Amino acid sequence: MTKPANPAAVDLRAETRVLTELLLVVVSVHGVFDDHARRAALSHELLQLPERFKDAVGVVIDVTNATLALRAYMPVSLHVRLEPFLEPLPWAWAASEASAAELAFDMSLSNEAPRAEAWIFASVDEALAEVARQCKAAEIVERSVGGAVLRRVQQEARGLRVERYVSDGTSVDTLWVGRSQIESALRDADGNVTWRSESPVLDARGEANAACRAQARLSFVQDGRLLLDLNPESTGRPRSPDWLATFRAAAKVFGLDLSNTPTTDADVADALDACPELESLTLDNTKVTSRSLERIGAAPKLKYLGLEGCKVARAKLKALMKRRPELQISGVWL
């Protein structure tokens, strides 16, 4: 339970329910949310749910005892903001008649307005029953008010596949195991893959992908070029001691992310020696210092440099910016 500490705080009371052997979480919201501060606080608290309930397989958000005023909320609906954070968990609302009307209006703000009756139920028990049904379904198809398919969820041997469709014809295809994303692909209106990524996560059969073998997150753009991401926040693991060998062996690398690792100036020099044509280098929160800036400035194809949290001298940074005015540098202020 979260106890309100100020007028904008949110009173959330969570309990777990076991329904047909499924661990479900009911989050009951109490209070009046009739101004911007309270609505923003509610949004913030609900967006934290996936981290708080990592073992849950489904969620019901109970607003039967809350007063919602979402009609003046924000251009992006609360429901639409929550969906990506709760995915791939099945979830639903339990709402009073007044709150249900507010939520239905909130959903209508989306360009791909979902059908409110598929998400909003009059009681917690009804919402739980729907979430449990979705947990066990081989396929779930979500449609808009106009009948267009918005989302398709299918259980496969490798995991749970979620396909999201946008009104412009593009789609995002993601494979999950539990709460972990294995792979994702963005397709254009013709079905061509314009971007795809793999994360170092075993699939439901216990099989490793290329990202597992590289101990990195791999992102590919349409022409097959690779961004090698070794940031522990992306991979869920420390940087491998063999990272440099992996980087050297990779083909068509255009980007390298070493953020939140013990990367040194010597590591930067080694990486640029291994791939002089690097276009993107992210070094946020590393041990890199001003000593790397001259070497970085000599990288002919570099277009982006991330230096947030790095100890670099202002004068050295200004010299780099003067030398390479076309280089985009983020995370530093002069």
Mean of per-residue pLDDT scores for the chain: 90
Tell me which DSSP letter residue 197 carries: E
Cα radius of gyration (the chain): 23
Instruction: Read off the pLDDT of residues 90-123 as tens digits, 9 standing for 90 and up.
Output: 999 999 999 999 899 888 877 777 889 999 999 9
* pLDDT class of 265 with cuts at 50, 70, 90: very high
% of the chain exceeding 90 in pLDDT = 68
Token representation of residue 257: 């992310």
Question: Looking at per-residue confidence, does 217 or 11 come out higher?
Answer: 217
> For 264-272, what is the mean pLDDT?
97
Q: How many CB atoms lie within 10 A of CB 16?
A: 11
| Pick from 78-82, 158-162, 208-212, 284-288: least confident | 78-82
pTM of the model: 0.85
Instruction: Read off the pLDDT of residues 25-58 as tens digits, 9 standing for 90 and up.
Output: 999 999 888 877 888 888 888 888 877 888 888 9
Domain residue ranges of the chain, discontinuous segments joined by +: 11-138, 149-330
% of the chain exceeding 70 in pLDDT = 95
Largest alpha-carbon pair distance within the chain? 65
User: For residue 74, is pLDDT > 60?
Assistant: no
* pLDDT class of 5 with cuts at 50, 70, 90: very low
> What pLDDT, on a 0 to 100 scale, did the predictor assign at position 1?
37
> What pLDDT, on a 0 to 100 scale, did the predictor assign at position 51?
79
Closest alpha carbon to 220 in 268, 253, 242, 245: 253
CATH class of domain segment(s) 149-330: alpha beta
| Pick from 42-56, 71-85, 283-297: least confident | 71-85
> What pLDDT, on a 0 to 100 scale, did the predictor assign at position 2?
41
Q: Fold identical between 11-138 and 149-330?
A: no
Architecture of domain 11-138: 2-Layer Sandwich (3.30)
* pLDDT class of 79 with cuts at 50, 70, 90: confident
Question: Looking at per-residue confidence, does 191 or 112 come out higher?
Answer: 191
> For 71-89, what is the mean pLDDT?
75
User: For residue 182, is pLDDT > 50?
Assistant: yes
Cβ–Cβ < 8 Å for 217, 211: yes
Closest alpha carbon to 258 in 290, 283, 292: 283
> What pLDDT, on a 0 to 100 scale, did the predictor assign at position 231?
98
Dihedral of the alpha carbons of 93, 95, 101, 106, in degrees to the nearest 10: -30
